[in-house]
Amino acid sequence: MTVRIAVAGASGYAGGELLRLLLGHPDVEIGALTAGGNAGTPLLAHQPHLLPLADRILGETTAENLAGHDVVFLALPHGHSAEIAARLGEDTLVIDCGADHRLTDEAAWTRWYGGAHAGSWPYGLPELPGQRDVLTTARRIAVPGCYPTVSSLALAPAIHLVEPEVTVVAVSGTSGAGKSLKPNLLGSEVMGSLSAYGVGGAHRHTPEITQNLSKVAGRDVKVSFTPVLAPLPRGILATCSATLTGDDDVRAVYEKAYADEPFVHLLPEGHWPTTGAVLGSNAVQLQVTVDPDLNRLVVVAAVDNLAKGTAGAAVQCMNLALGLPETTGLSTVGVAP
Amino acid sequence: MTVRIAVAGASGYAGGELLRLLLGHPDVEIGALTAGGNAGTPLLAHQPHLLPLADRILGETTAENLAGHDVVFLALPHGHSAEIAARLGEDTLVIDCGADHRLTDEAAWTRWYGGAHAGSWPYGLPELPGQRDVLTTARRIAVPGCYPTVSSLALAPAIHLVEPEVTVVAVSGTSGAGKSLKPNLLGSEVMGSLSAYGVGGAHRHTPEITQNLSKVAGRDVKVSFTPVLAPLPRGILATCSATLTGDDDVRAVYEKAYADEPFVHLLPEGHWPTTGAVLGSNAVQLQVTVDPDLNRLVVVAAVDNLAKGTAGAAVQCMNLALGLPETTGLSTVGVAP
Amino acid sequence: MTVRIAVAGASGYAGGELLRLLLGHPDVEIGALTAGGNAGTPLLAHQPHLLPLADRILGETTAENLAGHDVVFLALPHGHSAEIAARLGEDTLVIDCGADHRLTDEAAWTRWYGGAHAGSWPYGLPELPGQRDVLTTARRIAVPGCYPTVSSLALAPAIHLVEPEVTVVAVSGTSGAGKSLKPNLLGSEVMGSLSAYGVGGAHRHTPEITQNLSKVAGRDVKVSFTPVLAPLPRGILATCSATLTGDDDVRAVYEKAYADEPFVHLLPEGHWPTTGAVLGSNAVQLQVTVDPDLNRLVVVAAVDNLAKGTAGAAVQCMNLALGLPETTGLSTVGVAP
Amino acid sequence: MTVRIAVAGASGYAGGELLRLLLGHPDVEIGALTAGGNAGTPLLAHQPHLLPLADRILGETTAENLAGHDVVFLALPHGHSAEIAARLGEDTLVIDCGADHRLTDEAAWTRWYGGAHAGSWPYGLPELPGQRDVLTTARRIAVPGCYPTVSSLALAPAIHLVEPEVTVVAVSGTSGAGKSLKPNLLGSEVMGSLSAYGVGGAHRHTPEITQNLSKVAGRDVKVSFTPVLAPLPRGILATCSATLTGDDDVRAVYEKAYADEPFVHLLPEGHWPTTGAVLGSNAVQLQVTVDPDLNRLVVVAAVDNLAKGTAGAAVQCMNLALGLPETTGLSTVGVAP
pLDDT in tens, B236-281: 999 999 999 999 999 999 999 999 999 999 999 999 999 999 999 9
**CA–CA distance, B17 with C157 (Å, rounded to integer):** 34
pLDDT the model gives residue A1: 78
Residue-wise pLDDT tens digits, C53-68: 999 999 999 999 999 9
Say whether A245 sits in a helix, a strand or coil.
coil
CB–CB contact C276 D300 (8 Å): no
Partner-chain residue, chosen from C13, C52, C333, that has the shortest CB–CB distance to B51? C333
C277 touches chain B (CB under 8 A): yes
Q: Residue D47: closest CA among chain B residues belongs to which residue?
A: B189
Alpha helical stretches, state H, C58-177? 63-66, 81-86, 106-112, 131-136, 146-155
Say whether B19 sits in a helix, a strand or coil.
helix
Q: In which region does residue D280 sit, left (phi positive, over 0), alpha (psi from -120 to 50) or beta (all else)?
A: left
**Residue D71 binned pLDDT confidence (cut-offs 50, 70, 90):** very high
Residue type, C275: T
pLDDT the model gives residue C202: 87
Q: Residue D191: closest CA among chain A residues belongs to which residue?
A: A192
Residue A200: pLDDT above 90?
no
Size of interface B-C (CB pairs under 8 A): 99
A57 touches chain D (CB under 8 A): no
**CA–CA distance, A235 with B193 (Å, rounded to integer):** 7
D10 touches chain A (CB under 8 A): no
Low-confidence ranges of chain B (pLDDT < 50): none
Contact, D217 vs D166, CB < 8 A? no
Mean pLDDT in residue range D177-204 = 93
- If you average pLDDT over every residue of chain A, what do you get? 97
Q: What is the rounded radius of gyration, in angstroms, for the C-alpha atoms of chain D? A: 19
For residue A13, give how far its alpha carbon lies from the nearest alpha carbon of chain B (Å).
Answer: 17
Residue-wise pLDDT tens digits, C123-145: 999 999 999 999 999 999 999 99
**CA–CA distance, B11 with B39 (Å, rounded to integer):** 9
For residue B290, give how far its alpha carbon lies from the nearest alpha carbon of chain A (Å).
Answer: 6
CB–CB contact D196 C232 (8 Å): no
- Interface test with chain B among C11, C20, C49, by most B beta carbons within 10 Å: C49
Nearest to C172 by CA among C301, C266, C14, C21: C301
CB–CB contact A231 C175 (8 Å): no
Q: Which member of C97, C146, C240, C317 is catalytic?
A: C146
Residue-wise pLDDT tens digits, C102-116: 999 999 999 999 989
**CA–CA distance, D295 with C197 (Å, rounded to integer):** 18
Partner-chain residue, chosen from B233, B280, B333, that has the shortest CB–CB distance to C50? B333
Contact, C228 vs C199, CB < 8 A? no
What is the signed CA dihedral for D224, D227, D228, D233, rounded to 10 degrees? 150
**CA–CA distance, D12 with A336 (Å, rounded to integer):** 11
**CA–CA distance, A273 with A287 (Å, rounded to integer):** 7
- Interface test with chain A among B105, B239, B284, by most A beta carbons within 10 Å: B239
A285-291's contacts with Cβ under 8 Å and 24+ in sequence apart are: A285/D48, A286/A153, A286/A154, A286/A254, A286/A258, A287/B196, A287/B199, A288/A158, A288/A250, A288/A251, A288/A254, A289/B199, A289/B200, A289/B202, A290/A244, A290/A250, A290/B200, A291/A241, A291/B200, A291/B201, A291/B224
Q: Residue D278: closest CA among chain C residues belongs to which residue?
A: C193
For residue C184, give how far its alpha carbon lies from the nearest alpha carbon of chain A (Å).
Answer: 9
Alpha helical stretches, state H, D24-130? 63-66, 81-86, 106-112
pLDDT the model gives residue C236: 98
**Residue D5 binned pLDDT confidence (cut-offs 50, 70, 90):** very high
C-alpha distances (whole Å) from A186 to each of C162, C310, D4 are 40, 20, 47
Residue C1: pLDDT above 90?
no
- CATH 3.40.50.720 domain range(s) in chain A: 3-144+308-322
Which residues in chain B have Cβ-Cβ distances shorter than 8 Å to A290?
200
What's the burial of D286, exposed, middle or buried (CB within 10 Å: 0-12/13-18/19+)? buried
The helix-helix angle for D312-322 and D13-23 (nearest 10°) equals 50
Nearest to D125 by CA among D216, D188, D200: D216
- Interface test with chain C among B28, B41, B304, B333, by most C beta carbons within 10 Å: B333
**CA–CA distance, A331 with A316 (Å, rounded to integer):** 11
Say whether A65 sits in a helix, a strand or coil.
helix
Say whether A237 sits in a helix, a strand or coil.
strand
Residue C324: pLDDT above 90?
yes
- φ and ψ at C235, to 5 degrees? 120, 140
Which residues in chain C have Cβ-Cβ distances shorter than 8 Å to B280?
280, 335
Partner-chain residue, chosen from C20, C274, C333, that has the shortest CB–CB distance to B52? C333
For residue B245, give how far its alpha carbon lies from the nearest alpha carbon of chain C (Å).
Answer: 33
Residue D200: pLDDT above 90?
no
B230 touches chain D (CB under 8 A): no
- CATH 3.30.360.10 domain range(s) in chain C: 147-304
pLDDT the model gives residue A57: 98
**Residue A143 binned pLDDT confidence (cut-offs 50, 70, 90):** very high
Contact, A236 vs A294, CB < 8 A? no
- If you average pLDDT over every residue of chain C, what do you get? 97
- Assign domain C3-144+308-322 to its CATH superfamily: NAD(P)-binding Rossmann-like Domain (3.40.50.720)
pLDDT the model gives residue B63: 96
Residue A127: pLDDT above 90?
yes
List all residues 6 or more positions away from A308 whose beta carbon is below 8 Å from its beta carbon.
Answer: A149, A263, A278, A281, A282, A283, A284, A316
Nearest to C304 by CA among C328, C267, C335: C335
- Interface test with chain C among D112, D169, D182, by most C beta carbons within 10 Å: D169
Say whether A19 sits in a helix, a strand or coil.
helix
**Residue A121 binned pLDDT confidence (cut-offs 50, 70, 90):** very high
Strand order in the sheet with B222-229: B195-196, B222-229, B165-172, B236-243, B296-303, B284-291, B264-266
Residue A96: pLDDT above 90?
yes
Q: What is the rounded radius of gyration, in angstroms, for the C-alpha atoms of chain B? A: 19
Say whether D67 sits in a helix, a strand or coil.
coil
CA D332 to chain centre: 16
pLDDT the model gives residue A202: 87
Q: What percent of chain C has pLDDT over 70?
A: 100
Cα–Cα–Cα angle for A332, A333, A336, rounded to 5 degrees: 140
For residue C140, give how far its alpha carbon lies from the nearest alpha carbon of chain A (Å).
Answer: 30
A336 touches chain B (CB under 8 A): yes
Contact, D35 vs D58, CB < 8 A? yes
A16 touches chain C (CB under 8 A): no
* Domain C147-304 coded CATH 3.40.50.300: no
Which residues in chain B have Cβ-Cβ distances shorter than 8 Å to C268?
44, 54
A276 touches chain C (CB under 8 A): no
Contact, D178 vs D239, CB < 8 A? no
Say whether D44 sits in a helix, a strand or coil.
helix
CA B122 to chain centre: 14
- If you average pLDDT over every residue of chain D, what do you get? 97
Residue-wise pLDDT tens digits, D298-324: 999 999 999 999 999 999 999 999 999
Mean pLDDT in residue range D282-297 = 97
Distance, first Cα to last Cα, chain C: 36
Mean pLDDT in residue range D76-98 = 94
| DSSP state string for D158-205 | GTTSB-SEEEEEEEE-GGGGTT---GGGBHHHHTT--EE-STTTTSTT
Which residues in chain D have Cβ-Cβ distances shorter than 8 Å to B187?
174, 185-187, 189-191, 231, 233
User: Is pLDDT larger for residue A198 or for residue A32?
Assistant: A32
For residue A143, give how far its alpha carbon lies from the nearest alpha carbon of chain C (Å).
Answer: 22
| DSSP state string for B219-279 | S--EEEEEEEE-SSSS-EEEEEEEEBSS---HHHHHHHHTTT-SSEEEPPTT---BSGGGT
List all residues 6 or more positions away from D272 whose beta carbon is below 8 Å from its beta carbon.
Answer: C195, C196, C197, C199, D287, D300
D183 touches chain B (CB under 8 A): yes
For residue B91, give how far its alpha carbon lies from the nearest alpha carbon of chain C (Å).
Answer: 31
Residue type, C127: E
A230 touches chain B (CB under 8 A): yes
pLDDT the model gives residue D328: 98
CB–CB contact D48 A277 (8 Å): yes
pLDDT the model gives residue C256: 98
Alpha helical stretches, state H, chain A? 13-23, 63-66, 81-86, 106-112, 131-136, 146-155, 187-190, 206-217, 250-258, 312-322
Partner-chain residue, chosen from A185, A231, A232, that has the shortest CB–CB distance to C186? A185
Which residues in chain B have Cβ-Cβ distances shorter than 8 Å to A192?
232-235, 275-276, 279, 337
**CA–CA distance, C51 with C63 (Å, rounded to integer):** 27
**CA–CA distance, B15 with A223 (Å, rounded to integer):** 42
pLDDT the model gives residue D228: 98
